[in-house]
Amino acid sequence: MRKGILAAAALLVSLQAPAMDLRVGCALGTRSIDDESLREAYGPGTVYFPYAALSFWKGAAVGAGFETGYSKEAKLGLYKEASSLKIQGFEIFALYQLKFDALHPYLKAGYGFYSYSQTLDSPIAPLFRVDARQGAPILAGGFNLHLTEGLYLSGEAKYVPLTVKPFDEEVDLGGLRYLLGIGYAFKF
């Protein structure tokens, strides 16, 4: 009897559930750094963001992606010592989107697990290196513009407040990302 009730309840829930979709895509764009001295030294850079997201209920979705590509070199200090900075991270997120015909605007929030490394080749300390990890929240807004049944273009503005303290002084590696991308939604 109990199995029959559970089966009937599962059937009713599945009939009421909206269609799910799996979205996969990749976005490309620019990334800034909030810290003034690092921004002047390294400047903005290019990032790309492959991702996957699963829509499960009336515009709500969860997903994950990997931001990578920011890798810059600069000459620092009085002696113009060679240095490099690299930042990348794995992100998990939840989003909610509205659907207006082909345009689907959305808001996104999540958490990122970032790694950053900086090297400095100095006569005083040959090949000084920092390798560390730091987590930070993610806030974003954007849109998907559907071109065909599954194919869509996307645009997103994302902010990550990534403050790190590799030594005695805090450094703000956070900043804005402006991304444009392409993706495909697989319907279930």
Predicted confidence (pLDDT) per residue in 73-114, tens digit: 988 777 778 889 999 999 999 999 998 999 999 999 999 999
Residue 12 pLDDT exceeds 50: no
Contact 106, 141 (CB under 8 A): yes
CATH architecture for the domain at 19-187: Beta Barrel (2.40)
CA distance 107 to 92: 14
> Among candidates 64, 67, 76, which has minimal Cα distance to 31?
67
Question: pTM score, two decimals?
Answer: 0.82
**What are the tens digits of pLDDT across the range 107-120?**
999 999 999 998 88
Cα distances (angstroms) measured from residue 145 to each of 104, 139, 152: 6, 20, 5
User: How far is the C-alpha of 142 from the C-alpha of 162, rounded, in Å?
Assistant: 21
Cα–Cα distance measured from residue 186 to residue 150, given in angstroms and rounded to the nearest whole number:
6
Sign of torsion, CA 121 123 126 130? Answer: negative
